[in-house]
Amino acid sequence: MQIQNNTLIAECSAYDFKEMLERKKVKSWLKSVSAFANTDGGSLFYGVNDDGVIVGLENPQADADFISETIKARLDPVPEILLIPIEHEGHSLLEVKVKAGTLTPYYYYQDGTRTAYVRVGNESVECNSQQLLSLVLKGTHMTWDSLPTQVDASKHSFIILANTFREQTHQEWNDKYLESFGLVTPDGKLTNAGLLFVDNCTVFQSRIFCTR
């Protein structure tokens, strides 16, 4: 973030400008907090108009208190934020710095409904079903590939994978590698990734071999 000629210069994808704090329309800025926490983090600058021109705040301390309390009341889980006062040529600004979260999704909560937002360009938009699933998996430290299926691994073979392993590593194959590679769960079920590597897989015509 840079200030030139009383104008804030910033990347739109990582920053939002707010001329004043909307106390009666909190969704207008809380969705940005949710989006930043669910994506790559970012900052809201209060006391800056849409053109990036610094206009200042009358009472930044009162605004900071309201922002902090509202985030705790309306977002679940509560994201990690920093409230940073900025003084520039007699103007008082407030930066609300939102860190990228690890407990995704971060929901905006109102009237019994929970909505998660993500950052797309310079906008904070409501998650679609695919984005929401991705956030849920991220929050549980899982990926789609690692999700278990109901298919028994014992009913399938991995001869092609084993032969490829021997050719590329010059080591003997051990079926215990299937679990360490994330292809089979501890209780003997195939993961989504495992389904792609079984010998009778018809999903893809080609196979990708990944070293451990």
Q: What is the pTM of this model?
A: 0.73
Determine contact, residues 86/92, Cβ cutoff 8 Å. yes
Domain ranges in the chain? 2-139, 148-197
**2-139 — its CATH code?**
3.30.950.30
pLDDT digits (tens, 9 = 90+) for 129-141: 889 988 988 888 8
pLDDT in tens, 77-88: 999 999 999 999
